[in-house]
Amino acid sequence: MARFLSEEWIADLDRAAAASSCLAEDLAGVSLVVERRVEGSPLGDVSYVTRIDDGTVRFLPGRASDADLVLLSDYETARALALGELNAQQAFAAGRLKVRGRLDTLVAHVRSLAAAGAGLDAVRGTTTFD
């Protein structure tokens, strides 16, 4: 089982996204790069990138110089989001999720981000959260 936010976990997300025909259909025609930064995790500060390119979704470790959006949170918020205990709208409204980039891009792609996040659902059962 992969540890939440580890490189193994990010690779699991990437494999789940690659295997999902639903993602390919839902995200056809979408081009978006989202960087996620999580501060204060047991592994230290972690960044990973979701790249959506015309139905192809990749999850990669590290940062993206070409990110359309950067989502920042602390570990507890990221953990709650990953476990489905909190949704992004709630976290944003409560000030627990910060967004850098153009908010119109976020609004325009909210459905795409939700679809890409579905990759997380596929690996939740094989992830340890500690």
Q: What is the pLDDT of residues 45-96, one digit of tens each?
A: 999 999 999 989 999 999 999 999 999 999 999 999 999 899 888 999 999 9
- Give residue 89's pLDDT: 85
pLDDT category of residue 119 using cuts at 50, 70 and 90? low
Run of H or E including 105:
helix 103-108
- Give residue 111's pLDDT: 78
- Give residue 76's pLDDT: 98
Task: Please state the pTM of the whole predicted model.
Answer: 0.90
Q: In what order do the strands lie in the sheet with 69-74?
A: 56-61, 44-53, 31-41, 69-74, 97-101
DSSP tag of 25: H
Give the pLDDT mean for 25-36: 90
Would you list the domain boundaries of the chain?
Answer: 2-119
- CATH topology classification for 2-119: Nonspecific Lipid-transfer Protein; Chain A (3.30.1050)
Give the tokens for residue 89: 């709208």
